[in-house]
């Protein structure tokens, strides 16, 4: 939904870590962060690529567990961590695009 209005807003630019250069402003009592479109697209692409890479790691771990049952105990621990990172990365992606 697009909103048409011509109010002046106070915008503050900051370049601190971890976000890098970002503009902040308040709209309807909510603090907003604004990034340049190129940067926002790059962040989403990087997150999407991370999800893909983690999926590959997960698949490799499952093959390793099936191929080396004697090593399964510690591989399952690594798989659990990889699954958790994948879950958190997906949550981040959903939060960024909602």
pTM, rounded to two decimals: 0.59
- Residue 18: pLDDT band with limits 50, 70, 90: low
Task: Please count the residues of the chain.
Answer: 98
In tens, the pLDDT along 22-40 reads 888 898 899 888 888 888 8
Q: How far apart are the first and last CA of the chain?
A: 13
| Rounded Cα gap, residues 81 and 62, in angstroms | 13
Q: How far is CA 68 from the centre of its chain?
A: 33
| Rounded Cα gap, residues 24 and 33, in angstroms | 5
In tens, the pLDDT along 50-88 reads 888 988 999 999 999 999 999 999 999 999 998 998 888
| Rounded Cα gap, residues 55 and 86, in angstroms | 7
> Alpha helices, DSSP H only, in the chain?
37-67, 72-97
């Amino acid at each position: 939904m697009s909103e048409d209005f011509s109010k002046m807003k106070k915008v503050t630019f900051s370049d601190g870590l971890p976000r890098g250069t970002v503009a902040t402003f308040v709209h309807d009592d909510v603090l907003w962060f604004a990034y340049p479109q190129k940067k926002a697209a790059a962040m989403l692409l990087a997150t999407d690529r991370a999800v893909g890479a983690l999926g590959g790691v997960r698949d490799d771990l499952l093959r390793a567990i099936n191929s080396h049952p004697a090593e399964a105990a510690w591989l399952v621990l690594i798989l659990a961590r990889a699954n958790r990172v994948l879950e958190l990365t997906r949550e981040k992606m959903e939060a960024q695009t909602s």
